[in-house]
């Protein structure tokens, strides 16, 4: 079959493998029709199931969560199971008992432990003072904490903890990947990770730099499209972070507004941080010493966020840093216009759009955008990697030489003689 399949793929005629096999007398037409109907039926069923899972999540998985389609399906099933399950007596903390269907505290409130209930058996209170829960997601929760070695609480940490034990192995792999990737590309625009290890109850945690700020996506949601001058300043920082990662042979693979956090510096200016290297990939990992710490995309599945993924991430087993630049182009379009260049109702609809559909011109949606920014976005969103900027450094140079002067004419670009 392989030689015939190769011929079909190379042919300019719109034919399929089944039709070719029938034409050559290798299979009966009835068999081809039967197989085609079975395959189409399965694809339709899968698509309906996937769409239903995303609908349950309010479609937040299209942009927000970096998960493969199968993970979205499994997450929906796990959530339904968990919602109907009560904790067993063995799982309850010592200070709580179950009676007549109610949970009753046996200690007065003043003597109740401050550690969150879900962390009681983790052992994290031996290393950290955990102040409060700062956020929650599909893998677990994030807590504001301070190391026991910092009794004056001068350096806040974000403690990411996997709360679902069933997911702890996958989370451990993601955490190891994130630690290694960020350690290879230390930069002021990249989040710093301090510690990671298993918990006493068989889960996993990671302690990282705590950023008092918001995701770029949350700012977009609250304020709408971002003014060009403000975003150009942030884009300069984003490209600096990507340049540091790419020069360390790291492909982030999940560039999108949700993975940029914006904080305020002491002087009131905005500081951007690139976060979540959980699905990052190290090129030449064997040479770098990382080895099998960096596993490839599981089972050949597509990894990344459907709305932002580069075309070659869909079709090729190996990608390079130019895939991040494509995702950055989608991000620029999203932040300055308030919409994505491709609009789909289901996550699977994005994939052929990235592969075949030409995105709209930036100035068709936002006529006030600088001409140079439209050119930059067009180049970033080229379908073929060879037609994009060939490095984040090249894109940064273009931004400072052309986009910055047009967008912020009264302020010299970083690195210029005037600056």
The larger pLDDT score, comparing residue 136 to residue 98, is at 136
Decide if pLDDT at 66 tops 50: no
pLDDT given at position 370: 96
User: Residue 264 pairs with which residues in a beta bridge?
Assistant: 270
| Numbers of helices and strands, H then E, in the chain | 16, 12
What does the pLDDT look like over 79-118, one tens digit per residue? 555 544 444 444 434 333 333 333 333 334 443 336 787 8
Backbone angles phi, psi at 289, to 5 degrees: 95, -5
Decide if pLDDT at 121 tops 80: yes
Q: Using 50, 70 and 90 to split pLDDT, how confident is the model at 283?
A: low
- Token digits of residue 336: 């300055």
* Helix (H) or strand (E) run with residue 282 in it: strand 281-282
Backbone angles phi, psi at 370, to 5 degrees: -60, 145
**DSSP 8-state class, residue 190:** B
User: Environment class of residue 222 by beta-carbon count within 10 Å: exposed (0-12), middle (13-18) or buried (19+)?
Assistant: exposed
β-strands 128-136, 140-147: how paired? Answer: antiparallel
Percent of the chain residues topping a pLDDT of 70:
73
Decide if pLDDT at 167 tops 70: no
What does the pLDDT look like over 390-416, one tens digit per residue? 999 999 999 999 999 999 999 999 877
- Token digits of residue 373: 């920014």
Name which of 29-33, 101-105, 118-122 the model is least confident about: 101-105
Known catalytic membership, residue 254: yes
Residue of 254, 276, 320, 324 marked active site: 254
- Token digits of residue 230: 């403000």
**Range with top average pLDDT, 9-18, 96-105, 189-198, 363-372:** 363-372
- Token digits of residue 370: 């600088």
pLDDT given at position 78: 60
Q: Using 50, 70 and 90 to split pLDDT, how confident is the model at 212?
A: confident
Question: Which whole number is the average pLDDT over 287-312?
Answer: 59
Contacts made by residues 220-229, CB under 8 angstroms, sequence distance 24+: 220/257, 220/334, 220/335, 220/338, 224/338, 225/335, 225/336, 225/337, 225/338, 225/366, 226/335, 226/336, 228/336, 228/368, 228/369, 228/370, 228/373, 228/407, 229/407, 229/408, 229/411
pTM above 0.85, yes or no: no
Question: Which whole number is the average pLDDT over 220-226?
Answer: 93
Could you tell me if 349 and 366 are in contact, meaning their C-beta atoms sit under 8 angstroms apart? no
pLDDT given at position 113: 39
Question: Which whole number is the average pLDDT over 255-268?
Answer: 90
| Ramachandran area for residue 100 (φ above 0: left; ψ -120 to 50: alpha; else beta) | left
**DSSP 8-state class, residue 385:** G
Please tell me the distance from the alpha carbon of residue 228 to that of residue 324, in angstroms, as a whole number. Answer: 21
**Range with top average pLDDT, 99-113, 202-216, 247-261:** 247-261
- Token digits of residue 303: 């990894």
pLDDT given at position 298: 35
- Token digits of residue 288: 């770098």
Please tell me the distance from the alpha carbon of residue 99 to that of residue 77, in angstroms, as a whole number. Answer: 29
pLDDT given at position 340: 94
Name which of 6-10, 69-73, 289-293, 324-328 the model is least confident about: 289-293
State the average pLDDT for the chain: 78
Name which of 3-17, 86-100, 349-363, 376-390 the model is least confident about: 86-100
């Amino acid at each position: 079959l392989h030689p015939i399949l190769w011929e079909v793929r190379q042919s300019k005629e719109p034919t399929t493998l089944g039709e070719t096999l029938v034409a050559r007398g290798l299979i009966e037409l009835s068999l081809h029709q039967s197989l085609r109907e079975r395959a189409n039926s399965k694809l339709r069923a899968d698509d309906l199931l996937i769409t239903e899972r995303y609908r349950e999540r309010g479609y937040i998985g299209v942009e927000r969560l970096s998960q493969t389609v199968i993970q979205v399906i499994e997450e929906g099933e796990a959530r339904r199971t968990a919602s109907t399950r009560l904790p067993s007596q063995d799982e309850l903390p010592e200070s709580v008992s179950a009676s007549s269907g109610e949970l009753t505290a046996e200690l007065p409130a003043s003597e109740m432990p401050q550690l969150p209930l879900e962390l009681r058996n983790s052992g994290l209170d031996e290393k950290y003072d955990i102040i409060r829960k700062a956020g929650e997601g599909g893998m677990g929760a994030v807590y504001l904490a301070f190391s026991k070695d910092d009794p004056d609480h001068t350096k806040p940490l974000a403690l990411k903890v996997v709360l679902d034990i069933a997911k702890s192995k996958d989370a451990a792999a993601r955490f190891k990947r994130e630690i290694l990737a960020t350690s290879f590309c230390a930069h002021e625009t990249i989040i710093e990770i301090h510690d990671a290890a298993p918990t006493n109850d068989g889960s996993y945690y990671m302690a990282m730099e705590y950023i008092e700020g918001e995701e770029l996506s949350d700012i977009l949601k609250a304020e709408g499209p971002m003014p060009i001058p403000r975003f150009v300043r942030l884009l300069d920082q984003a490209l600096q972070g990507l340049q540091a990662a790419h020069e360390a042979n790291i492909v982030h693979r999940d560039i999108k507004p949700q993975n940029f956090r914006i904080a305020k510096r002491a002087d009131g200016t905005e500081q951007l941080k690139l976060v979540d290297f959980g699905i990052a990939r190290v090129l030449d990992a064997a040479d770098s010493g990382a080895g099998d710490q960096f596993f490839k995309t599981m089972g050949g599945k597509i990894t990344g966020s459907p709305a932002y993924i580069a075309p070659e991430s869909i079709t090729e087993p190996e990608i390079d840093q130019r895939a991040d630049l494509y995702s950055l182009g989608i991000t620029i379009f999203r932040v300055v216009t308030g919409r994505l260049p491709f609009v789909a109702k289901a996550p699977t609809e994005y994939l052929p759009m990235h592969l075949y559909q030409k995105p709209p011109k930036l100035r068709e949606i936002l006529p006030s955008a600088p001409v140079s920014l439209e050119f930059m976005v067009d180049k970033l969103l080229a379908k073929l990697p060879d037609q994009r900027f060939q490095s984040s450094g090249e894109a940064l140079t273009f931004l400072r030489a052309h986009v910055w002067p047009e967008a912020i004419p009264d302020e010299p670009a970083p690195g210029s003689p005037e600056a």
